[in-house]
Amino acid sequence: MNHLMHSLSSDVVLLTGGQPRMLGFDEALVFGIGFNVLNVAVLAYILWKVLYGPVKKFLADREARVKSQISDAEAMRKDAEGYKSEYSAKLGEIDNEKTGILDSVKKRALTDEAAIIKKANESAEQLKSRAYEDIEREKDKAKDEMKKQILELSTILTMRYISGAIDSSHQDKLLDDIIEEMRVAKWQS
């Protein structure tokens, strides 16, 4: 520690011009401090003149840019809200239109279904009517055929009766034969 003190005192002696002293307020010290203060003031003034304007301008520009970005973002948000409400309205219109189209299609399908069913029923009735007409024609044809066969048989019977006297047993047998022939003829046609 002695060594450290000796080293410091030698440095102080060199600074004070050879006279050992601790801190004293003499002219050199006051002049040095004044000169340093003046240097700091001049440096501060130069820095203020050189840097203050550009820094202030930079900060003002940055503030203006930030405000512009904020206002742009706010405008974009308002536009987005407008678009959102517009699209919501359009979606509502589309949904209503879709519902209307579906209702229209359902009504048309029901109308078409009713028309198809009506047409099918009419066709079925026409087929049924034609079938009944065909059946009636066939019945009439069968009746006419039966009448013809009865006439033929009665003619044959009359001719046999006329051609000879037929006794009642023979007559019954002839009648049975004729009826049997009619049955066979009926089943064959």
Domain ranges of the chain: 2-188
- Asked if residue 11 has pLDDT above 80, the reply is no
Three-state DSSP at 106 gives helix
- Residues of the chain above pLDDT 70, percent: 80
Three-state DSSP at 124 gives helix
- Residues of the chain above pLDDT 90, percent: 21
d(CA 82, CA 84): 5
Q: What is the pLDDT of residue 66?
A: 93
Q: Phi-psi category of 112—alpha, beta or left, where left has phi over 0 and alpha has psi -120 to 50?
A: alpha
User: What is the pLDDT confidence band of residue 13, given thresholds at 50, 70 and 90?
Assistant: very low
d(CA 48, CA 55): 10
Three-state DSSP at 189 gives coil
d(CA 100, CA 94): 10
d(CA 115, CA 139): 35
The model's pLDDT over 33-80, given as tens digits with 9 standing for 90+, comes to: 999 999 999 999 998 888 888 888 889 999 999 999 999 999 999 999
The model's pLDDT over 160-172, given as tens digits with 9 standing for 90+, comes to: 666 665 667 777 7
* Higher local confidence (pLDDT), 7 or 120: 120
